[in-house]
Amino acid sequence: MHTSLDDVLPRKQVRGTIGFGSMNDPYMPIERKYKLTRRALEVVARNQFPVHIITKSDLVLRDIDFLEKINQIYAAVSFTITTADDDLARKLEPGAAPSSDRFKAMKTLSDAGILTGVTMQPILPFIEDTPGNITRIVELAHQNGASYILPWFGMSLREGSRDYYYDKLDQLFPGIKKKYVQRYGSQYICNAPNWHELDELFQKAVYKYGIATKMPVFTPEPVKKSNQLRLL
């Protein structure tokens, strides 16, 4: 039996945050054509549910009209940014918006009063784990209105994805695969070798700029059925 979001949300007794992007980016290039995320946000706004979006795309700005309505309850947009270098970002994330465009989108959302910040993870060992990169991300986050940064100085490598990742390392970063094999073997969790130092540097930087390392969250509450928004 097919059940739509429009069927489910009006029946909910408790209002809790709806997450977009935990497993898949809701703003992949195909979203420009099909607008599935936009249609979902319209339903969310109509039913006055809070949202948290995680994305690597500036296309989220297209839907700022619905996000502003949702923000009467709670709306947050986290941009995944792991390098401040656009050239490196294009190399690592083909098809995603350059990091600079994500920062610009962050500024627009912040100026509109929408909670926004950075999911700074994963930081790829031997590629992105430099003090300069971490410091620059924090600086740019501050300049563009980020309220929080959620870091992980490392990555995970699952069986099956490890071979694919190593093939890409050989193509894009010759010689780096050997470092992974020597240090991590078949480990699932691959923390950057210098993660302690990076974390110390990061904590000092966010303290300097007053950026939180946890994001403010919405506390679930009973749904008041009579308070649905009317959308134009």
Q: Residue 123: give its domain's CATH number.
A: 3.80.30.30
User: Hey, how many other C-beta atoms are within 10 angstroms of the C-beta on 68?
Assistant: 15
Number of domains in the chain: 1
- The answer to the question of residue 158 being in a domain is no
pLDDT for the residue numbered 224: 79
pLDDT for the residue numbered 1: 53
- The answer to the question of residue 15 being in a domain is yes
- The answer to the question of residue 175 being in a domain is no
Lowest mean pLDDT among 2-16, 48-62, 90-104, 165-179: 2-16
Average pLDDT over every residue of 223-227: 66
pTM of the prediction? Answer: 0.94
**DSSP structure class, residue 200:** H
pLDDT higher than threshold 60 for residue 230: no
Q: Which residue range forms the structural domain that includes residue 138?
A: 5-153+192-227
* pLDDT tens digits for range 28-42: 999 999 999 999 999
Half-sphere exposure at residue 164, Cβ-oriented, CA atoms within 13 angstroms: 5
- The answer to the question of residue 171 being in a domain is no
CA distance 32 to 57: 11
- The answer to the question of residue 74 being in a domain is yes
Average pLDDT over every residue of 201-224: 96
